[in-house]
Chain A
Amino acid sequence: MTKITGGHITGFLASRRTDKWWFEPLWTGLGFLAFVIYTTWAMFQGDHYWWSAGQDGFGGYLSPFYSPLLFIKEGVSGSAPLDHAWFGSWPGWWPKLIPATPAILILAGPLSFRMTCYYYRKFYYRAYFMSPPACAVEGVPQKNYKGETMLLVFQNLHRYTLYIALGFVAILSYDGILSLFRGGDFGIGVGSIILIINPILLAGYAFGCHAFRHITGGSQDCFTCPNGEPTIRYKVWKGVSWLNGRHMFWAWASMLWVAFADIYVRMVASGQWVDYSTWSN
């Protein structure tokens, strides 16, 4: 590190801060890394993503990592019945080198939403790109810093990943309703509660998104035009702004919960955990 005037220093990680500035990028970086490792592992398993206590008919628990089920590979332990697939049985043309797991077809959707999210960008630019790692701490030296104008210009399409995420909110909400039935009978289990909380948290995150805030009303200069009364868009924008002010909470809560929901379904489907419910087990 080189000393410069003003008593400052310059160079990678140079700072005069005396507090634990490294703590936040460390815990956020490790937390998200743990999520990515677990998600990748769970995605490649391709089994134990479905549980209905062996009963046919409407209802059952479906891991959110595997929803929607575009194709289903039959005969796999803990897999859903074939009639749950949108497009039927697993395609024969699927390359043998790539595991035949329904999660691999859909996880890029919610991941793209999180990876272009303005909150996630803050934390991973800090934790992984170290640009900068913390405030008043010098990051990775770059000769000609470009920000998000060149390679990262795709971040501007965050609103399109939002549309994908809103689709997942609808699908996972349907899964939550599905979890209240087993063999066509209404009831409630611990898994039902977990799978209902999941889309609520995702909705809190998606509906508080900065792009959604812009679309609902942020793009407007006048909230009371044309008749001087607050418009419906303004009222929606206020609600979205409330969620947006807590965006970090919703981001982490929804991310951790979706992993927990997968763990729960996986453990129940594989017989490791007992799902307490109003149905007779």
Chain B
Amino acid sequence: MRLRNFQIYRGDNNEGTMEQYKTEVDQGMVVLDVIHRIQAEQAGDLAVRWNCKAGKCGSCSVEINGKPKLACMTRMNEYGADETISIRPLKAFPIMKDLVPEVSWNYEQNKRIAPFKPDPHKRNENGDYVMMQEDIDRVQEFRKCIECYLCQNVCHVLRDHNRKDAFVGPRFMIRLASLEMHPIDTEDRIPDIKDSYGSGMCNITRCCTDVCPEHIQITDNGIIPLKERVVDRYYDPVVKLFRWLFRKK
């Protein structure tokens, strides 16, 4: 069997190089399989984060030939037989070692979001919260997120402009959407969505949606609806007048 060419980043956040590897590729292999083969046969100290190998844990996010992808869901037959395949860690985050990014900034953003606050009046006689499927369909889409952070990595606000001080990123915009659109949640996060989480920083170029392995419509179903709610509260003069006249929040 012919050997295939790979380039893999070896190093940390301070220095490193793209190392060349050649290895055999069997039918049906994904990029993560190749990384594991190289790790087993040629580079025992190669660091890669992985867990489920089924596209459900969100651990093996890397950049393959410059495109942010899950290594476990990227089949080798996507690439030409003579093509050199490069594998790099996510660009938007510091590198711990080789292909492993340090993503704790995301966990910090998650902690900033006001948690789910159900309306106690919406309990039934058994004390349960009852919701209709029509109400929950919309937010269930956002619950598919596997926190691979590919959307965070590809978002140019974070990746190129490094405005982590001003924007929480697409992953947390959809978490905010899942809470704001929840039929029994009562917390008001709109002021923070505008000011603290930075909805206005997103210029909806939709790269987050393009790379999402769960095919969540991050922009159309999450970010844009939140931006429209911010418009209701802060920019629409007629809605503002209506709220003022009828003393509505």
Contact = CB atoms under 8 A, between A and B. Distances in A.
B72 to A, nearest CB: 19
B99 to A, nearest CB: 9
Interface in A203-245: 210-211, 213-214, 218-219, 221-225, 228, 230, 234, 244-245
A221 B161 contact: no
B86 interface: yes
Nearest to B211: A135
A218 B65 contact: no
A135 B210 contact: yes
B11 A136 contact: no
Nearest to B206: A122
Interface stretch (A33-41, A86-94, A153-161, A175-183): A153-161
A138 B160 contact: yes
Given A5-B95, A6-B95, A157-B235, A218 B228 contact: yes
Contacts of B224: 118, 210
Given A5-B14, A6-B89, A139-B156, A219 B232 contact: yes
Contacts of A281: none
B103 interface: no
B160 A125 contact: no
B63 A16 contact: yes
B1 interface: no
Interface string A241-281: 00011010000000000000000000000000000000000
Contacts of B235: 153, 156-157
**Residue among A118, A125, A136, A210 with most chain B CB within 10 A:** A136
B156 A6 contact: no
Contacts of B18: 7
A131 B207 contact: no
Interface in B1-26: 7, 9, 11-18
Contact of B91 (A8, A19, A210): A8
Nearest to B90: A6
A222 B205 contact: no
A152 interface: yes
Contacts of A152: 203
Nearest to A132: B156
A15 interface: yes
Interface string B129-148: 00010110000000000000
B69 to A, nearest CB: 10
Contacts of B9: 6-7
Contacts of A17: 65-67
Contacts of B95: 5-6
A135 B134 contact: no
A136 B63 contact: yes
A15 B207 CA distance: 14
Nearest to A121: B204
Interface in B218-246: 219-220, 224-225, 227-232, 234-236
Given A122-B204, A153-B200, A18 B229 contact: no
B205 A132 contact: yes
Interface stretch (A62-70, A98-106, A141-149, A193-201): A141-149
Nearest to B167: A147
A145 B183 contact: no
Contacts of A138: 156, 160
B201 A19 contact: no
Contacts of A213: 225
Contacts of B181: 221
A125 B203 contact: yes
A135 B210 CA distance: 8
A114 interface: no
B132 A224 contact: yes
B157 interface: yes
A121 B203 contact: yes
17 contacts: A6-B88, A7-B9, A7-B86, A16-B86, A118-B219, A118-B220, A121-B205, A126-B205, A138-B160, A147-B167, A147-B201, A147-B203, A148-B202, A149-B198, A153-B200, A214-B225, A221-B183
